[in-house]
Every structure is written in structure tokens, then in C-alpha cells.
Structure 1
Amino acid sequence: MQSNKTCPLVEQYLGYLVVIKGRSENTIKEYRTDLLMFFNFIMLSRNTPIINNNFAAVNVEFIKTISLNDMYSFIAYCQTELQASAGTRARKIVSIRQFWKYLKTKANLIENNIADELETPKIPKRIPKYLSLEESVRLLIQCQKSPRDHCIITIFLNCALRLSELASLNIEQVGNDVLTVIGKGNKERKIFLTPAAKKSINNWMQIRNTLNVNTKALFISRNSGQITTRAVQNIVKKYVLAAGLDPKTISAHKLRHTAATLMYKYGRVGMRSLQLILGHESIATTEIYTHIDEKQLQSAVNSNPLAMMFN
């Protein structure tokens, strides 16, 4: 849904992202927010009034007056005033860079792309939080009484889907052996179903087929419509609490981390295979799942032949 704050140039760019690049609704929303926040910052710094929430003043002439220093001032403002994380600041920089690139190379509205020089902050690599095998089993046991919820948790832990991917699943995406997933940028990928996932889906489908619903959605909400991402988050939280786990650190997204980690740790899955399963555009994103747990680190240290030399 379009914001009530509009900028013709930005909307032109976002239209290009939807039609030509096939970007998702969430991506469009983030780009719009980032760019309007940036222009709002520039206009306020120049005492230029924003009339009726309208950014029509942000035209090509206005764009040409913006300097690289203005861009860095905005990122500094995000860091100091908004306490934005390095990841959030990096995303805003990408939004600005991509918009300027479009203005130069696609729309041919500017001659110089000063945003090319805009550097992104170094983002610290964090080991993703995930459930151990024992914790995963505890979670699955807790939701056994609800075929729908058990199917949701099982698919997360077996297929490593994103929250949005799982919530938007339709019946026709479920095959006998394969799950067809529509990921970021409307890219399609296929994930082989494990025996546990197949059984869980069959159990839920037996119940779903008895329901009088007018939707192709795989997972049905209480009001007989397609389940929302918020509802899925609440379902995960409910069973995380029931399993005695911490809901502050374990979310639906962490179940995706868990599936990827268990595949890598126990299945000796290669990076390329894991990248395809997770639907990552860059293998660098997949590499966060190659973290090694503390027991493996301890084992590696103790494998040193000098480890038992006391004298």
C-alpha cells in the first residue's frame, strides 16, 4: 500500500522495481520509507517546508543539489539520533545508492552518480541464534495436539522457509515430494519434503479438507482465511513458551536458522546446496550458517596431539 507521503520520482522508481525487477511488497515499502526519510532530512536541514506531506519539490533539480556530504550527514543522523544499527544504516545506504543508479543509468535524468562513492558501514557478523536438536524435539512435542500448528513448526524445522514464504503457501504448492516456494523477488525454488514434513502435511490436510473455506491457502486462520505472518509468529511464541524456551531469542525466523544449522551440522550439506534450499541470492549470506558450536570448538582444540602432554 502506498504511503500518504508521495514523491513522483520515487514512485516512478518503485514502479520500475515492481514491473521490471519483480521486487516484493516489503522491499518496495522499505525503499519508499528510506528514501522519503532521507529527503525529509535534507528538506528540513535546508528549512524547506513539506506541504501536505507532499514531496513534489523533490524533482531532478533538487536531486542535483544533493551532495555526498548530505548523504553522510543523513547516515550520521540515523546513527546518533535514531540509534539505527549498522545493518539498518547499510540498508538505507543501499536504498539511496540504487535510487541514484536508476536516475543515471535507467531514467537518464542525472549525469553523475555521486552515491557510487557512498560507503556502507562494516556490519559485525553475529552467530545466528538457533535451537539445539533436543530443543527442537521439545518444541515439536509441544504442538503435537494441533495438526495445523505441528505442520507449521515441522515445515519451519525441516524446510527452512522464511516466515512470509510459509504464511503465503497455497495447496497447489505442495507436491508429493516437493514444496514449491515463492521467495524474495518472486523467485521460485523447490524444496524436497522430508518424511516428517510429508506426514505432518498429510495429517493437516485430512482436517483442512473437512473445513468449509473459500481459499487455496494451505494454513487457515480462525476466521477461515489465509493465516497472517503475525498469527504464525504468535503460534511459534506459544509453543516456545510451552517448551520452556526463551521467546525473546527464539522466533519464527530462528526456526529457519535452526533448520539450516541442523542440515549443515548433521547432513554435511555443501554451501551451494544450502544456498539453494534457503533461497539466498548471495552465498555470503549462507555462510553465517557455517558457525561451529562450542562443543565442536572444544573437540577441535583437544584434537591437538599436544593436548594431553602434561609434562
Structure 2
Amino acid sequence: MKQTALPKILKDFLIYLTTITGKSQRTRKEYEYDLVLFLRFIKGVQEDVLPAQIHMVDISDITIDWVRELSLEDLYLFMEYCEVQRNNSAAARARKVATLKAFFKYLKGKRRLIEENPAEELESPKIGKRTPIYLNMDEAKAFLTAIQEQHYSTRDYCMMVFFLNLGIRVSELCSLNNNSVQGRNLTVIGKGNKERTVYLNDACLAALERYLTERHAFKGSGPEPLFVSQKGARFARQTVAKIVKQINAQSEHKKDKLTPHKLRHTSATMMYKAGADIRSLQHILGHSSVATTQIYTHIEDEQIQEVLKNNPFNNII
């Protein structure tokens, strides 16, 4: 979608997202994308614009009076367009529903600009529960072993050890600074700029100590990042994802489409299997809701079968 001039009500909402609710710039961009698409689509329908030309619709002149005329049926029409014309998955449509709900809730609850909230009764499409993809212990060991003795291998090894031991997000790893480490404590800035402290175990400390002896000098400005690229710059999420992909390609046990997020899944799953309680896991992972943490409490079918086989009543035939 090409850049477009935004109406003031949308600009105000996006500012509210970052300054008041603490949403990240990435999340703000996602909200902006969804709402620009929504406004263009509805205005396009009103002006008989062909679906293929929706991206050309100018929304800069949209006012709050125009928004007040929107109905629940308009929102349903938009969701149908996303499903049929854009082939959006249930997860993608659910995100758009969440965006619309947040936008209209802001207009009514925070700004008092509308009397009726058309998104209040908008339902989110059901998303099937997906079991997180993760590495088993042998695959994880092979993955770490695949980090060859080459330039910057201590850095890459340290980053992967942090993923597997701490379960941090890739954005959290990239935002770590030198002063984030205080002894055995690591200060992590999570979603919504929420700060949490996680414990650095022996594996993390050993990997960090080896990395710091070879660490490149930081050539940028501002807070000094903990993990620095070959050129002395802070890492971007995409670069870390490429490193994970390269290591996986060298691994004896390759995992299909391995990502930093799947390493986070691996960490969470292994900690749960090792006896971590759900509340501790919630804090370590930085989840605002325990419901999110519960997706990591899945148990493989083989384990379930073994539990049933070992039920003492199984011997009574």
C-alpha cells in the first residue's frame, strides 16, 4: 500500500497508541495499515471504486461526521472483502477486528466523538488452536553445535543461548543494552515498554563472557547495544532471523522454517516440561495474560499415552 495523507482522527489515534498505551512502532504501523485499508475500502464502496483500485482512494478528507455514519454492516462488508478478495486468514482478520475495536473504542470512550460504537458487537473469527512448533532437546543441541568456529561465532552462540534459556522475543534481544546486564540479572523491555527482570543462568553467563571478549565496538549513537553487528551497529530483527536461518541450514537436524520465535517456543516448552509453573513462565516470557502462556503447556500424544499406560488402574483387568 502506497503512502497516503491520513485524516486527523486517524493521526490522533496513532499518537494515542504510542504515547498513552505504549504500543511499539511496529504495532502502530500494523494498526495504521489496517485502518487505512478499512477507510479506503468503505469510501471506495461509497464512490463505486473497483476493488483493484481501492489503494488509490484518498482518505485525507475523512471527518468525524463521516465516521459517525458507519454501521456494523459496513464493518461486516469490510471483513468479507478481507476474506474473499484479499484471502486473509482467520488470524489476519482477527487482527483487523481488534484494530477496528480499538479505534472505535478510542473515538467513543476516550474522545467522546461518537455516540454509538459500531464495532462493539463485531465478532472476531474463530482461530483454531495451534500447537507451538519447537525443537526437541537433540535438535536444540544440534542447532547450537552448528554454530561453526568462525568470525563472530561467540556472538551468535550467545544470542542463541539467550533465546533458548530465557525465551526472550527477538525484538527484546535486539533492544538489549550493555547496562541491561547487572550481575546475574538481565533487564528486558517487552511489549508496551513493560520492564521485567530475568535471571541469567550459568549457560548464559558463560556464553556472554566469551562473547564480550570479542565484541565489536559500537559505532552508533545513543545507548550502547549489547549485541553488535560486524559493522558496529545494533541488530535489526530481520538480521537475527537470517542468522537463525543460516545456523539451522548447517544443523544436523534441520527444522523446517526455524525462526527466533520458534526458539522462544522451544525455551518455553522445555521449561514447562522441566517443571516450571505457569505463573513463573508467564513472568519469564513477559506475557500480560496467563492465557497466552498456556499455549506452551501442550503435552505430546506419546506422553499422554504413557501417563494412561502407567495409571495403576490399568493393571486391573
TM over 0.5: yes
What residue is the counterpart of 2:269 in the other structure?
Answer: 261
Q: Taking structure 1 as reference, are residues 218 and 51 closer, same or farther at Cα in structure 2, changes over 3 Å only?
A: closer
Q: Return 220-229 or 88-97, whichever deviates more.
A: 220-229
Q: Taking structure 1 as reference, are residues 212 and 274 closer, same or farther at Cα in structure 2, changes over 3 Å only?
A: closer
Q: 1:247 and 1:26 mapped to 2: Cα distance? A: 27
Give the gaps of 5 or more residues in structure 1.
none
Task: Note if contact 2:101-2:119 (Cα within 8 Å) is conserved in structure 1.
Answer: yes
Q: CA deviation at 1:66?
A: 1.1
Q: CA deviation at 1:69?
A: 0.7
C-alpha offsets along residues 127-154 of structure 1, whole Å, 9 cap, x if unaligned?
A: 0000001111111111162100100110
Q: CA deviation at 1:59?
A: 1.0
Question: SS where residue 181 of structure 1 aligns?
Answer: strand
1:155 and 2:162 correspond: yes
Written as runs of structure 1 = structure 2, the 5 A alignment for 1:52-63 is 54-63=58-67
What residue is the counterpart of 2:86 in the other structure?
Answer: 82
In structure 2, give the amino acid aligned to 1:7.
Answer: P
Q: Taking structure 1 as reference, are residues 130 and 187 closer, same or farther at Cα in structure 2, changes over 3 Å only?
A: same
Q: Taking structure 1 as reference, are residues 22 and 3 closer, same or farther at Cα in structure 2, changes over 3 Å only?
A: farther
What residue is the counterpart of 2:16 in the other structure?
Answer: 16
The runs of at least 4 aligned residues of structure 1 exceeding 3 Å deviation read 2-5, 48-54, 244-249, 304-309
Question: SS where residue 176 of structure 2 aligns?
Answer: coil
Alignment partner for residue 184 of structure 1, among 174, 177, 191? Answer: 191
In structure 1, give the amino acid aligned to 2:27.
Answer: T
Task: Note if contact 1:237-1:251 (Cα within 8 Å) is conserved in structure 2.
Answer: yes
How well do the aligned residues superpose, as a CA RMSD in angstroms?
2.0
Q: Return 281-290 or 166-175, whichever deviates more.
A: 166-175
Question: SS where residue 117 of structure 1 aligns?
Answer: coil
In structure 2, give the amino acid aligned to 1:18.
Answer: T
Q: 2:4 and 2:74 mapped to 1: Cα distance? A: 25
Alignment partner for residue 214 of structure 1, among 219, 237, 244? Answer: 219
What residue is the counterpart of 1:120 in the other structure?
Answer: 124
Q: 1:14 and 1:228 mapped to 2: Cα distance? A: 23
Question: SS where residue 226 of structure 1 aligns?
Answer: coil
Query: Percent identity, aligned pairs only?
Result: 40
Give the gaps of 5 or more residues in structure 2.
none
Q: Taking structure 1 as reference, are residues 289 and 140 closer, same or farther at Cα in structure 2, changes over 3 Å only?
A: same
In structure 1, give the amino acid aligned to 2:41.
Answer: F
What residue is the counterpart of 1:244 in the other structure?
Answer: 252
Q: 1:112 and 1:143 mapped to 2: Cα distance? A: 57
Q: 1:48 and 1:62 mapped to 2: Cα distance? A: 17
Q: CA deviation at 1:5?
A: 4.0
In structure 2, give the amino acid aligned to 1:128.
Answer: P
Question: SS where residue 35 of structure 1 aligns?
Answer: helix
What residue is the counterpart of 2:7 in the other structure?
Answer: 7
Corresponding residue pairs, total: 306
Q: TM-score, normalised by structure 1?
A: 0.93
Written as runs of structure 1 = structure 2, the 5 A alignment for 1:1-311 is 3-47=3-47, 54-143=58-147, 145=149, 146-208=153-215, 211-215=216-220, 216-246=224-254, 248-266=256-274, 268-305=275-312, 307=314
